[in-house]
Amino acid sequence: MHLLVKGIQHRITGDIIVPNSKYHAHRALILASLADGESRIHGLSDARHVEYTVRLLRGLGVRITREGDTFVVRGRGGRYRPVRDTVSAGSSGTTLYFMIGLASLSDSAVTITGQKYFRNRPVGPLLRALEQMGVRLESADDCPPIQVHGQRPAGGEVTIAGTLSQWISGLLLLAPFATGPTTITVSGELNERTYLELTVAMMRQFGLEVTVTPDWRRFEVAPHQSVRPTELTLPPDIGSAAFAIATAALHPADVVLRGIPSLTGGPADHPEFDFIDIARSMGVPMELDAAAGGVRIQQDGPLLKAVEVDCRDVPDMLPILSTLATFAHGESVFRNVAHTRLKESDRAGAMLQLNTMGAELALADDTLRVSGVDGLVGAELSSYNDHRVLMSMAVAASRARGHSTLSYPNAYRISYPGFLDMLNAVGVPASVESGPARATRSRGPDRVVADPDQAAQVTLPEWLTRHAAARPGDTAVVDVRPDGDSVVTWSELAGRVDKAAALLLDLGVRPGEIVAYQLPNRIEFVVLSLAALRIGAVCCPIMPFFRERELGFVLRHSLARVLVVMDEYRSRRPADEAVALAATGGPDTTNLQHVVVLARSGGSSRLPRPAPAGVQLHDWASALEATTVDRAALDAIHPSADATAQLLFTSGTTGEPKGVVQPSSNLVRAVSMEIRHLGLGAEDAVWVPSPLAHQTGFLYGMTLATVLGVPQILQSEWDPRRAVVSLNDHRATFVQAATPFLADLVKAVEEIGEAPKHLRIFVATGATVPRSLAEHASEVLGTKVCGAFGTTETCLGALSTPTDAPELRWGTDGRVLAGVRLRVTDDRGAVLPAGAEGNFEILSPTTFDGYLDRPDLTAEAFTPDGWFRTGDLAVLDESGHVRITGRIKDVINRGGEKIPVAEMEQLLFGHPAVDDVAIVAMPDDRLGERACAFVVLRDGALLDFDEMCRYLDGHQTAKQYWPERLQLVPDLPRNPIGKVQKFELRARARHLRPHAVQ
């Protein structure tokens, strides 16, 4: 379902009936429910939010009926008698915030809940203030559902932040029923004062006494008050009228808004009357028309002017004002917008979607700037189920060329049920339709990366900022854990990154400094990586299963002063290990000054004790909570795209790890090249089972998703069955991972009989994928398995595509990426023709800057003419497809005859008893080397040396190539991306002898 709005160019005409005020309706219904007797409220509001208040009050035992256009409320004399244990506020924030405290006036405990998105909306400041007043309540995470005990509050001194007026109004409405006097003091910035003025005015209208200081920061309320039954008429709703006014303001028009008796008003008339003054100052031609009984907007052509607005008093008007400003001459500035981001959605961020239509909005700090443009084009937009965002976007779309579509098309019913009728009545075609959206253009140019060179000039934190502005409520990260999945939006991610960046600055981290962290695939890994890059520091992730030896190596060579680790990981305690390492006083931790510990299960971590001399220990959660974000300090840092962004130590299949140094531009360019090569886009979602601490997960999981602006689905503990569930739950479409992940996933699908429903592409990297596995996986998973080749030093150089023929898609290691050059040479450096096997070399724009502090190794890695030596043997065909045939160091020279190791491994992998296989050389006195096959058998399978020989003979393979020893092992030693560590197998083979000599 979506809302389809067609842009128009013609004049609009018609009469519009302005509905009655929902703001007055909420307060009047609640106050009447507490009166001792019958109240009558004339001028029914049919807004769904008001209906939610009616339903909740009925759940608390209040009798509310309707007579014509009148609410008849029979109050309970300041007490509720719940008819249900749980009552819901639906999607109404006003209902929720007002009624949490008032539920304490019930005879018994009651639970307040709301629609799903409210269950992720913290109301901690309100809950703390209610507790100060003496309300007994319980909430697991400061979000609904909230259990409120039936006990009148005691009153007292209460302090609350001035962030949201609804929180303060909720306290004010409750205070007269306390058993003692209540003083409410507002701290910090006071927002939405006009709404507080309305609350106090209506309380007084119902006979309640409230004393207010002139600055509206201190309220004194006497206890034991009684509500007087009242009869009143609801005034017109300026909040709803604003959308009709804006529609008429953007077109040639002759429109009358009936029901607005005046162009001036005070808070008791409506808290949003300021919108009238703002719209008139922008040039909207509004005049009272007594004969027509309302306000007339008549013009031949819109001519709007820019405006500056302090949004503290008109926060709900920001979405529609930003729509007006989009078509105004000059730059409009909306200040103090932070609290608008705490509404039903992040409204300031949501309106940045207008940029995808051609608008120019910029959100920085606490200010939204809108530069007027001549016109817009249709687009596919998200309303985030926010009624004001939906209606504001729809009004903007009425002025766009072509069609626009909006998600959650019925959200307008929450506050203005007549909105759709209003648009059609004045001549703007708008309708709710089912089926796929039909926007004129896609969501926006930043959803698909077209030019890797241009993309490379944008750093990862800048990509994050773009997405947080354009689609703040969209999913950025899904953290899949055994105890449940956690979803983080782009806006939330940006906020967490800024907080972590401020923490790093507090720890003394400066641009260019290395930050080391040993974390599994969790949201904190993403936050910390982007935070380090935000301040120009260098990411140095460490594999989570590394022990003291490997950790010490990284710390010694990186010189990192800050290390972030888990308190527990699987059966280990990494924080204890790090502290024990530092306590030895050895060279590994000479520079280490801060160890930040992250709790495995959330909340506070278990810090090792005592702290080593010279090292400070910090709990991640507590440190973040105590950190204040200095926006000016953060924004003053502008990391260059050419600056070093990543220090990654190779896993070492041949020996000691080497520190690979990569600039930001290489990382972004690399994923942009893959995005373009595969045609990834806005509707994809990236599943990341590979360790984020390795290049596959870091680059083609986290970085790719961040650049593309799509969800990344992290899985911290590998569980194939859980993987199938997360793939389906979060609609994952793309994954790049090592062969073992592919093999495990296939087994899990075969066992449970359920395949991933949305997975389109599985790029198998890290080690050559066995062809038989790739073919079988394609059938079982119903996805395209694509071969690829890359290194930590060069990123991907070759990659097949889903449209390639199967024998090329998974029968090769991919074809050359645009901008990359591949070649095969002999041992003298001469380039070999297509089809010949030789040394595989690559020349790529994503080649690393060198090995950390090892110019000797860096020089050895390159040929005299600048090509990177991969260390692999390969065959390159005329179309640019490459097939890796082995590692140079893995070559087995049997009496002068080189054995095709990769080919023999592929052949043995096809044996029905074989689950995994690797072939290495074992020493021989006569021939120099012979081949030894290390084989992992499938469960319950049997294989001996003679059977292996019969199998190879049946495939008519030259006997000189046959392994001359079969060594059965429970598993093969692999590095984190699935490459077999053949140096370890060669060490084992030194002591082995052939089964038979041929």
Tokens of 295: 């306000």
- β-partners of residue 761 are 734, 784
- At 420, which helix (H) or strand (E)? helix 419-426
Structure tokens at 832: 């070999």
Measured CA to CA, the distance from residue 994 to residue 891 in angstroms comes to 18
Which residue intervals of 663-814 are DSSP H helices?
Answer: 664-678, 695-697, 704-708, 720-729, 739-752, 771-781, 806-809
How far is it, in rounded angstroms, from Cα 795 to Cα 487?
A: 29
Q: Are strands 110-113 and 86-88 parallel, antiparallel or unpaired?
A: parallel
771 belongs to an annotated ligand binding site = no
Does the annotation list 116 as a binding residue?
no
Q: The sheet that has 644-649: what strands, in order across it?
A: 616-619, 594-598, 562-566, 514-518, 538-541, 644-649, 659-663, 850-851
Report the sign of the C-alpha dihedral through residues 460, 461, 466, 467, in that order.
positive
Annotated catalytic residues are 316
DSSP string across 852-914: TT-HHHHHHTB-TTS-EEEEEEEEE-TTSBEEEEEEGGG-EEETTEEE-HHHHHHHHHTSTTE
* Dist. CA 610–CA 423, nearest whole Å: 68
> What is the spatial distance between Cα 742 and Cα 760, in angstroms, rounded to a whole number?
14
The answer to the question of whether 950 is labelled as a binding residue is no
Question: 388 labelled as ligand-binding?
Answer: yes
Residue 922 CA to its chain's centroid (Å): 50
Q: Quote the CA–CA distance of 851 and 843 in Å, as a whole number.
A: 17
Q: How far apart are CA 171 and CA 187, in angstroms?
A: 14
Specify whether the CB–CB gap between 770 and 777 falls below 8 A: no
* DSSP one-letter code for 805: -
CB 682 within 8 A of CB 876: no
**Amino acid, single-letter form, for residue 980:** V
d(CA 747, CA 119) in angstroms, rounded, equals: 37
Quote the CA–CA distance of 639 and 636 in Å, as a whole number. Answer: 10
Q: Is 438 helix (H, G, I), strand (E, B) or coil?
A: coil
Report whether 722 belongs to an annotated binding site: no
Phi-psi region of 746 (alpha: psi -120 to 50; beta: other; left: phi over 0): alpha
Cβ pair 842, 870 in contact under 8 A = yes
Q: Number of helices and strands (H, E) in the chain?
A: 31, 54
State CA 80 to chain mean position distance.
41
Q: Prior bond to 145 cis, omega within 30?
A: yes
User: Dmax over Cα atoms in the chain, in whole Å?
Assistant: 113
Cα distances (Å, whole numbers) of residue 837 to 112, 498, 524: 71, 51, 45
Ranges of beta strands (E only) in 208-252 are 211-212, 218-221, 231-233
Q: Is 93 annotated as a binding residue?
A: yes
Cα–Cα distance measured from residue 342 to residue 121, given in angstroms and rounded to the nearest whole number: 8
165 is in an annotated binding site: yes
Structure tokens at 653: 């299949």
Q: Are 326 and 351 in contact (CB under 8 A)?
A: no
Q: Helix-strand-coil percent breakdown of the chain, rounded to 5?
A: 35, 25, 40
SS (H, E, C) 313-363: CCHHHHHHHHHHHHCEECEEEEECCHHHHHCCCCHHHHHHHHHHHCCEEEE
Find out whether 166 is annotated in a ligand binding site.
Answer: yes
Q: Which residue numbers belong to the known binding site for phosphoenolpyruvate?
A: 22, 93, 121, 166, 347, 388
Query: Residue ranges for the binding site for 3-phosphoshikimate?
Result: 22, 27, 165-166, 316, 343
Give the annotated binding-site residues: 22, 27, 93, 121, 165-166, 316, 343, 347, 388
